[in-house]
Amino acid sequence: MMRTTLRKSIGPLAAVLVAVTVWLGLVVTPPDRDQGDYVRLVYLHPALAWVALYVAFGMSAVCSLLYLWKRTRSLRFDRLAASAVEVGVVYTLLTLLTGSIWGRPTWGVWWTWDARLTSTAVLAVLLLGYLALRRVPAEAHIRARRSAVFALLAAINVPIIHFSVIWWQTLHQGATVLNPNLSPMIHGLMAWTLLLSFVAFTLLFAWMVMVRYEIETRRVDEDEVGMAAAIADRQAEGIHS
């Protein structure tokens, strides 16, 4: 009951914050001196990347680790990890899409095999691989263990993406706010709108994960009820025969 109430509260709040972010980003904040109106993608692309790389993959890795640890092993963590990855796929693909749209006017191409872009594309493939692995028929705990190990191995790619702009010469710019010098490259209303976008898309992710988790839990419960009914029918047939 509490989880349902929380989900119903977060959903509208996330929708309002996303709407305010769009309004501020498209209407209120000024264009950039160099990039013009294309700078408005800064209120979308970094927030999507934040959720895709750190929130979604971080949540899946932590839940996978909690499942593998015997003292906390529960299929609830497996379902949470899977829900985070499913929503994370959406955010990762949107990250690549918005980055490509932004790259066309600034770099002159829709796509280049830049270190940051390539490693993010690899992340998308790994996320899809995780979901494909879960489709392989297996007993619930076997599937959960395989998925958890895969998620932890795939998480190695996240620090590679994060530090790619430092380790290699790359077209992709460094961090706008949390850069090594801790000197934000954005100020005033633009900075507050950027911060709001991070909050808005993080809350939207949380709501989507809650919805996906409840759908999966309901499906598992229905399968268990169906299995129990099938066993009862077979037992009844045996008695009558």
Give the per-residue pLDDT at 114: 80
As given in the structure block, the two tokens for residue 53 are 């790389």
pTM above 0.85, yes or no: no
Which residues of the chain fall below pLDDT 50? 178, 181-182
Residue 175: the pLDDT is 56
Which pLDDT score is estimated for 182? 43
Question: What's the angle, vertex CA 208, arms to CA 122 and CA 28, rounded to 5?
Answer: 90
Length of the chain: 241
The dihedral built from the CA positions of residue 32, 35, 36 and 42, taken in this order, carries a sign that is negative
Q: Is the dihedral of CA 24, 190, 198, 48 positive or negative?
A: positive
The predicted pLDDT at position 31 comes to 81
Question: How far is 200 from 217, CA to CA, in rounded Å?
Answer: 26
Helix (H, G, I), strand (E, B) or coil at 169: coil
Residue 182's identity, in one-letter code, is L
Spatial separation of the C-alpha atoms in residues 204 and 43, rounded to whole Å = 15
The torsion angles phi and psi of 69, rounded to 5 degrees, stand at -75, 125
Residue 32, SS3 per DSSP: strand
